[in-house]
Structure 1
Amino acid sequence: MFQGGFRRNGREWFSSLPACLLLLAVVLFSTSSDIHNQMLRGGEQLWSGYYKLRVDPVQPTCDPNVDIDAAVAEKLAEDASDQDPMAALLGEAEVDPDEVRLSIERSVENCRQSYESFENLQGKVTPGLELYRTIELFIADMIAIGLESQRFILLILVMLCAVTATLTRHHIAMRAMETRLDYRVSHTLQTVANAMLLGSSLMFRQSSVAAESSISTADLMLHNLWVIGFAALTLASLFRLMRPPQDLQDGGNLNKAFLAVPLYTVMCLISGSYFALIGHASGIGIYLGNMMALSDMFLNVGLYVWVGMMLKQTRLATLVFNVFRPWRMPPEMLAVVAVLVAAVPTAYTGASGIFVIAAGAVIYSELRAAGARRHLALAATAMSGSLGVVLRPCLLVVVIAYLNREVTTDELFGWGIWVFVLTAVMFSGVALTVNRQSNFNLAPASEALAPMFSALKQLVPYVLVISAVVLFYRLALDVSMDEFSAPRLLPVIMLAILVYEHFSLGSKKARAQTGVNHQGLEHSVRSATNDTTAEIGALLLLLGLSVSIGGVIERSHLMEIFPQAFDSAWAAMMLMVVILVLLGMIMDAFGAIILVSATVASVAYASGIHPVHFWMVTLVAFELGYLSPPVALNHLLTRQVVGEAEVLAAQNEGGSYYQRHERIIMPLIAMGISLILVAFVPLIFYS
């Protein structure tokens, strides 16, 4: 009862609106940089020497009308009076009058040129230039504010959304809270973990203030915001513990109750206990503070989630599936098409887990509407983001290239295309051959082509809207759609699509023709942001604590028990595969990339494994880890977006062992075979 009321009222006013404003601010600040670059170029084209005209020219203070002969005589007289008598006795050379004259002549000439430049620049200062540079300097100030406030925006966004996720019971766990025992155990441990985070951040603040005699105001403010945020999170979890909802079942099992504890809580308890035992209680606060160094990356994650939630509010996914429906594809083939098509947006969202959160619900509902069985739809949803992480412009690949000078994005994306082809073939083969339960009776072309083209026509306006935004950025701001610009272009594209649907579907006539009950632009953005806040809170808090777990592994020197180099690249690769899959099981992609770059990568290079080959194996191994029990993060995210009821309904279905566990086994077979091939086949050619 309480939870629903909170979602309808408090969450929209106290969580979603600030989150929406923060995300829009990120887009605005990043776009203002592009605008400013264009204004500088435009200013130089309109007024030659604009870079000097950005501020009022200052009149020189030198004298351009100096009497050179008098100045030379005066200088020689000064030098003579200042000369040491002992130097004269020793016969040291006197000042050369010609050099003095040449020096003074050059100074006078420079002074005259300064006056000429001043008069020239002053003549160019017109009311039009003053207005132009006022706007340009205002945008420059906005960029400076944006760069300085990026860390604060991320911190506030994380804390705001984490509190929302706590109050709405939206954190990521192995299973949902069903009984009162589940609820008490989960929220008790959440409260303990949040109090641990609060204590660690307080200790980190105290040690930082004590260590630095003059800590900057910005750093002190960041420390204070961490403390305030974790205090609010602790109070939120304590409040939920004291106010259990009425819809919980009585009783419960203690072992199952522990599975209802959020993953971030488990990571916090493990890392916090370890740091406390080694006398480094501020450890969690330090590693969470390291998020600020990569604030732009984590803010991009939030933007991608927002983009996905706005995508859910549009008809775009439904219209894309409508293109394939006339062929009456069997569910297995449609699942393959869905996963292959999803690879492209996955590449723009940066990681498979982000894409599952962003678009998983759309893919699942469309597959179910097309007749796919629950297990097949769940398997395709969980794997929908796994194939595109090697394609341009995936943020993961950019982070790898940023942290490792041995590889470049061009090299990684170049080989990523072939890895994508391999994984696509493997998934297609498994889906269309293993446990195929449908007949392949496609509609004849004569019957399917006409409705397919009709469905394609409905996509044309969306293509035009997307093209218009991309072309505007390209022509007006000189920004192409790539791995660096995608985070700020995609929100604008989705907002443009929502605006288009607002006007094209808002009338009664349009609703009657399409059968779509469109609620309007404000409702769409508000609903998308409502979903975004809890998802960002659950995901970013998990990412932050994953970095802390990486710190535990790093500080415990666990990796040092392995050799620093292997005589055989094959032996090294076998160990690498095991380690990377295990890391994929327990850590998020970005935290794991940071840890691997600092530890495992150097061992692989020293053992003769090519850097590009190693990172291709790393990406595929991570994806297998995200699909592998006992954690299976992508399956947990799938359950989060499709609902616990759908997963339980699938688990209650009968059939053979494979049919009852198809959602887990099918992705494991496809990605497992792909990993073996990617890891060991290239070694044949260069090891």
Structure 2
Amino acid sequence: MMMVVLLVLALFGLPLFAVIGLAAIIGFHDAGGNPVLAALEFQRIGELPVLVALPLFTFAGVLLARSGTPARMVDLTRALFGWLPGGLAILGLGLFALMTAFTGASGITVVALGSLMLPALLKAGYPQRFSMGLVTAGSSMGVLFAPSLPLILYAVVAQQVAPGQGIRIEDLFLAGILPGLLMLSLMAGWAMWVGRGLEPETEPRPPIGPSLRAVAWELPLPFVVLGGIYGGWLLVVEAAVVTAAWVLVTVVLVRREVGLADLGRVIAEAMMLIGAILVVLGFSMASTNIMIDTQVPQRLFEAVEPWLSSPWMFLVALNVLLLIVGMMLDIFAALVIMAPLILPIALAFGVDPVHLGIIFLANLQIGYCTPPVGINLFLASHRFNTDILTVYRATLPFLGWLLVSLVIITWWPALSLWLPGRMD
């Protein structure tokens, strides 16, 4: 009865962290424990060294988005590939993925980079509907690429729920590369098909040399950070420190595109995002402990096992569930709510937790642009002053290719597990 009351309160606008927190406190009380113990979860997650990476990567991403970096990257793309029919759309997808990977927020990519790419695509001759769909769906790309915040957050949650499974953030970073490239490749293939009859861009393109020099400070960053992680020279936290320091020096001290007076607002924006994530994460971990103590995952497994007789049937049901969840919840909230419930059931069905993480994120990424309530759809409609039905129709072809890639990712575990070396 109390859960029904909480659900009604949520529907009437009670903040998500309050709903989860009340559920955790009620769970402790019903289990005969002290509800104050729910607050101890914040101390426990605060002791996780890797958690420091979240605010640092977020700060760097928001600072980049508020600088002139997106415009300089678009100019570089036009300089290098403006001559190639279809090249601007393909490289636009790459820029979207890079931006979302570093900011951790698809909405920032829609607003900051999409508003630059849409006019460029239209000038290059791409149809209005295709361009709108590319910007809306393409801005969700990057969730599977390091140093994506959802990848880090899933690893944190999974390490707490299944500590004996050896789930490392580095494994998630590697596991997302090939599935992410598959999604990008299918969408790029569609872009090439649509752009096959377009003439090369006639508008004067920026010179290559000055365009390269313009991004001389930003261009090495992905190679330094990701090369340091994969090469074993940097831990994830150290890579986050390098990223934040590099961006801070570049944007504030060298380029002076964000003044010291504005730096406080950028920090506040980034920390509000992280604060919301951590509050939900803390209460979610408290709820998870109660559910584990009261054997909720085991009972859920026993309830669904007669209906889902194989791991593949479980994955089909999981994909449908996560696509629906991804339409309604922010990716961070969906992760901390659903992952603790689903992970024990997936392990019981023999699903590798790293493969599960990629399936989770691929679904939630697609949910960003899935009608009727995907958040990217509304952001694009508002930002580009276009009615929502037009945005729906524009994203459908891209959504179809993303769903094809989701099927491949789900049924081909080696695509996710080969690079981390977790194949049996």
Fold match (TM-score > 0.5): yes
1:318 aligns with 2:71: yes
Matched, 1:573 2:315: yes
- How far the C-alpha of 1:651 sits from its partner, in A, is 0.9
Offset of 1:533 from its aligned partner? Answer: 2.0
Change (3 A) 1:313 1:625: closer
Q: Which AA in structure 1 matches 2:265?
A: N
Q: CA deviation at 1:493?
A: 0.9
Give, in whole Å, the separation in 1 of the partners of 2:277 and 2:386.
27
User: CA separation in 1, counterparts of 2:134 and 2:400?
Assistant: 13
> How many angstroms apart in 2 are the aligned matches of 1:375 and 1:525?
40
Look up the equivalent residue of 1:646 and give its one-letter code: R
CA gap 1:482/1:330 in 2 versus in 1, 3 angstroms: farther
Q: 2:212 aligns with which of 456, 459, 468?
A: 456
The equivalent residue for 2:406 is 675
Q: Quick check: 2:297–2:341 contact (8 Å CA) kept in 1? A: no
**Map of 1:27-426 to 2, 5 A cutoff?**
265-268=14-17, 270-271=19-20, 280=29, 290-295=41-46, 300-326=53-79, 327-328=81-82, 334-349=88-103, 351=104, 353=105, 356-357=107-108, 359-372=109-122, 379-384=133-138, 386-401=140-155, 403=159, 404=162, 405-409=165-169, 411-426=171-186
- Partners in 2 of 1:330 and 1:283 — Cα distance? 65
- 1:142-169 alpha-carbon deviations (Å, 9 max, x no partner): xxxxxxxxxxxxxxxxxxxxxxxxxxxx
Question: Hey, what does 1:486 align to over in structure 2?
Answer: 239
Q: What TM-score comes out, normalization by structure 1 length?
A: 0.46
Alignment check: 8 A CA contact 1:392 1:482 kept: no
Matched letter for residue 574 of structure 1:
V
Shift of 1:547: 6.0
User: 2:387 aligned with 1:651, yes or no?
Assistant: yes
Could you tell me which residue of structure 2 aligns to residue 495 of structure 1? 248
Give the counterpart letter for 1:577 in structure 2. Answer: N
Shift of 1:572: 1.8
Contact 1:312 / 1:528 at 8 angstroms: preserved in 2?
no
Assess, with a 3 A threshold, how the Cα gap between structure 1 residues 317 and 579 changes in structure 2: closer, same or farther.
same
- 1:272·1:284 contact (CA, 8 Å) conserved in 2? no
- What's the RMSD between the two structures over aligned residues? 4.7
Q: Could you say what secondary structure the match of 2:259 adopts? A: helix
Counterpart contact for 2:58–2:274, Cα < 8 Å: no
Change (3 A) 1:375 1:489: farther
Residues 1:559 and 1:276: Cα distance change in structure 2 (over 3 Å): same
1:482 Cα offset (Å): 5.3
- 8 Å CA contact 1:406–1:611 kept in 2: the answer is no
Alpha-carbon shift at residue 318 of structure 1 (Å): 1.8
8 Å contact kept, 1:584–1:625: yes
Supply the distance in 1 between the matched residues of 2:139 and 2:278 (Cα, whole angstroms). Answer: 17
**Counterpart residue type for residue 455 of structure 1:** S
Give the letter aligned to residue 387 of structure 2: Q
1:603 aligns with 2:349: no
Corresponding pairs, count = 383
Contact 1:368–1:377 (CA<8 Å) still a contact in 2?
Answer: yes
The alpha-carbon deviation at position 417 of structure 1 amounts to: 2.2
Q: Give the equivalent residue in structure 2 for 1:442.
A: 200
The aligned counterpart of 2:189 is 429
Give 1:560's aligned residue: 299
Query: 2:90 is aligned with what amino acid?
Result: V
Structure 2 counterpart of 1:306, one-letter code: F
Residue 505 (structure 1) aligns with:
none
Alpha-carbon contact 2:85-2:192 (below 8 Å) kept? no
In 1, the alpha carbon distance for the partners of 2:141 and 2:66 equals 24
Report the CA distance shift for 1:571/1:673 in structure 2 as closer, same or farther (over 3 A).
same
CA 283–451 in structure 1, closer or farther in 2 if over 3 Å, else same: farther
Shift, 1:617, TM fit: 1.6
Name the SS of the counterpart of 2:237 in structure 1: coil
Residues 390, 417 of structure 1: 8 Å contact kept: yes
Query: Superposed, which structure 2 residues align to 1:3-42 within 5 Å?
Result: none
Shift of 1:396: 4.1
Q: Deviations over 1:36-74 (max 9, x none)?
A: xxxxxxxxxxxxxxxxxxxxxxxxxxxxxxxxxxxxxxx
Letter in 1 for 2:45: L
1:677 Cα deviation after fit? 1.6
Measured at CA, do residues 558 and 406 of structure 1 come closer, stay the same or move farther in structure 2, by a change above 3 Å?
A: closer
Q: CA deviation at 1:424?
A: 0.8
Report the alpha carbon displacement of residue 611 of structure 1 after superposing the two structures with TM.
Answer: 3.7
CA contact (8 A) 1:374 1:650 kept: no
1-structure distance, mates of 2:140, 2:34: 32
Return 5+ residue gaps in structure 1 as ranges: 1-192, 197-257, 503-519
Name the residue aligned to 2:268.
Answer: 533
> 8 Å contact 2:347–2:353 — kept in the other structure?
yes
Q: Alpha-carbon deviation of 1:678?
A: 1.1
Is the Cα contact below 8 Å between 2:326 and 2:367 reproduced in 1? yes
**Paired AA for residue 366 in structure 1:** L
Evaluate the alpha carbon distance shift between residue 429 and residue 619 of structure 1 in structure 2; reply closer, same or farther with a 3 A threshold.
Answer: same
Q: Does structure 1 retain, via aligned residues, the 8 Å contact 2:64–2:247?
A: yes
- Seen in structure 2, the aligned counterparts of structure 1 residues 599 and 460 have a Cα distance that, compared at 3 Å, is closer
Give 1:66's aligned residue.
none
* Distance (whole Å) between structure 2 residues aligned to residue 615 and residue 538 of structure 1: 22
The 3-state SS of whatever aligns with 1:486 is helix
TM-superposition CA deviations, 1:72-131 (whole Å, max 9, x none): xxxxxxxxxxxxxxxxxxxxxxxxxxxxxxxxxxxxxxxxxxxxxxxxxxxxxxxxxxxx
Distance 2:217 2:76 in 1: 15
SS in structure 2 at match of 1:370:
helix
Matches within 5 A, 1:514-553: 520=256, 524-534=259-269, 536-537=271-272, 540-541=275-276, 544-545=279-280, 548=283
> Percent same amino acid at aligned positions?
17
Deviations 1:296-324 (A, max 9, x none): 66654333332233213433322221123
Give the conservation status (yes or no) of the 8 Å contact 1:331–1:371: no
Q: Give the counterpart letter for 1:308 in structure 2.
A: G
Residues 1:573 and 1:632: Cα distance change in structure 2 (over 3 Å): same
Tell me if the contact between 2:75 and 2:211 (Cα under 8 Å) persists in the aligned partners: yes
Q: 1:396-442: per-residue Cα shift (whole Å, max 9, x none)?
A: 44554551424445554444222122111222234455xx5895212
Take 2:107 and 2:116, find their aligned partners in 1: how far apart are those partners? 14
CA contact (8 A) 1:624 1:671 kept: yes
Structure 2-normalised TM-score? 0.69
Question: Which residue type is aligned with residue 200 of structure 2?
Answer: L
Residues 406 and 496 of structure 1: is their aligned pair in 2 closer, same or farther, counting only changes over 3 Å? Answer: closer
2:420 match: none
